[in-house]
Copies of this chain bind each other. A is one copy, B any other.
Amino acid sequence: MKYYLEHAIRLAEMVEGQTGVNPPVGAVIVKEGRIIGMGAHLKKGDKHAEIQAIDMAGAQNVAGATIYVSLEPCSHYGATPPCAAKIIETGIQKVVYAARDITLPATGHEMMAEKGIDVQYTPHPRADKLYASFFASKTTEVPIVTVKVSASLDGKQATDHQQSKWITSKAVKDDVFQLRHMHDAIITGNGTLEADDPSLTVRLPEGRHPARIVMTNSGHIDWQAAMFHDQLAPVYIYTDNESFVSPLDHVHVVYLPSTDVKTILHDLYKKGFGRILVEAGPKLTSQFLTSEFISTFILYLAPKIIGGQGKYQYFQTDGVTPLDQLANFEIVHSEMIDTDIKLQMKRM
């Protein structure tokens, strides 16, 4: 039934954000009209969702059953043997999946069909939504990137005196914690460290702290900043200054000859960071907002007008772009968070 496939997609959604550069996948095994196993891929390197579900059901019990999977079962030997082979071996009779993995030479479908399994590709809009950025990310080998900005109605992150605490409400802070929890790493700039000294952690029960990535081209860094001393999550400093060294053992310096957005993101992807959140000042924020590698733009707007000269407008460019060539976004979701509004947008 259709809703078993939706259950599988729901399980995948539950683990979204904790699988790094691996896709979130869910699986449900049904036999004689009854769920006998459920599973999800919990972590890169861990068992795949299909195997978790087979384990819950007991491999000896799944012959003749149907497995519903959010993504086509894999056919390749990676960290784990192919799920398609396991499905064949256990005698599962029917496989229904909601998305094809366009990033792999996916022959799982054909592999199972050849063995007489009834394999059904049943596309589902929720699965498409779940995997769209993942596939794009894997194809380009850059992480899924979210840019987050808290601003006034007139587009400013702070007053001209750099006062920014607090433009948005306490409730927005909690929402940002959730957002951080869903990402593997946060990118910020040294300017933000000096201005706000943020720890960029997740102050919620069961929160997962993302790694902190600090950009500095000059090589100037405020070593007093809290995040260099809290030991709550790894810190990386990205720089194009070859002579830059860290005086702190646990702070990793990554030298890149060029620190354009694409180069940085590609390097982060190679390190296993699947989802990146950008929380930075005008310079970095603008750099990412104009790049093609941003999948979501989250803007918290406080109903305040800041004025001044707009030194901290979150979006500033050197050149002038004609109106018909501006980057456009589509608002996919909006919601009130206490007194502020949150807009979730996709790059068009």
Contacts and interface: CB of A to CB of B under 8 A. Distances in A.
A40 B42 contact: no
Contact of A42 (B1, B36, B66): B36
A196 to B, nearest CB: 23
Contact of A32 (B10, B56, B208): B208
A7 to B, nearest CB: 5
Interface residues of A, number: 34
B38 A11 contact: yes
A246 B37 CA distance: 38
A200 to B, nearest CB: 14
Number of copies: 2
Interface string A3-16: 01001001100110
A34 B184 CA distance: 12
Contacts of A52: 56
Scoring A28, A30, A202 by chain B CB atoms within 10 A of each residue's CB, the highest score goes to: A30
Contacts of A10: 10, 14
A208 B34 contact: yes
24 contacts: A1-B178, A1-B181, A10-B10, A10-B14, A11-B38, A14-B28, A14-B35, A14-B38, A18-B33, A18-B35, A32-B208, A33-B206, A33-B207, A33-B208, A33-B209, A34-B208, A35-B40, A35-B42, A37-B42, A38-B39, A39-B56, A55-B55, A55-B56, A66-B205
Contacts of A37: 42
Scoring A18, A33, A52, A204 by chain B CB atoms within 10 A of each residue's CB, the highest score goes to: A33
B30 A206 contact: yes
B40 A40 contact: no
Contacts of A181: 1, 33
Nearest to A11: B38
Interface string A31-70: 0111111111011000000001001100000000010000
Contact of A202 (B15, B33, B207): B33
Contacts of A209: 33
Given A30-B206, A205-B1, A40 B43 contact: no
Scoring A15, A37, A42, A181 by chain B CB atoms within 10 A of each residue's CB, the highest score goes to: A42
Q: Can you list the 8 inter-chain pairs with the closest CB atoms, starting with the nearest? A: A33-B208, A30-B206, A18-B34, A7-B14, A1-B206, A33-B207, A1-B204, A33-B206
Nearest to A208: B33
Contacts of A55: 55-56
